[in-house]
Structure 1
């Protein structure tokens, strides 16, 4: 391997998930790392567990924006 072209390699970097789980990995990213889903809370791996992060879809965001625009027009 050539010297000076590869990134630093960090061992035992702590990864923290929003579900409360934490584990260590070896990576080129300096830690600690925060993630939204992990293998313990992802719905693919845990069918019985619901997604803990409430996510609004694009349509809900659009409808809320339209309501704000209509409210601003009515206030003028």
Structure 2
């Protein structure tokens, strides 16, 4: 093992989730680590699926295309 090229390994780093859950992990980075999902809030672990209605890429593209077509027709 070469000296000076490996990251310092921290045995206990705090992880903060946006759901409010906090836990500790071992990592090679300094803490705290902020994450968007964790085992306490992720649907795979909890079994609860949230349905969010959002527009996909195609719907957004079609809306922009309609605006462009209207501008072209008016010119």
- Tell me the TM-score normalized by structure 1: 0.65
- Structure with bigger helix share is 2
Gaps of 5+ in 1: none
Equivalence for 2:14: 14
**Number of aligned positions between the proteins:** 72
Name the residue aligned to 1:31.
Answer: 31
* Bigger-Rg structure (1/2): 2
Q: Which residue of 2 aligns with 1:42?
A: 42
Task: Structure 2: state its 5+ residue gaps.
Answer: none
Contact 1:11 1:25 in 2 (8 A): yes
Q: Give, in angstroms, the shift of residue 26 of structure 1.
A: 1.1
Q: TM-score, normalised by structure 2?
A: 0.66
What is the CA RMSD across the aligned residues, in angstroms? 3.1
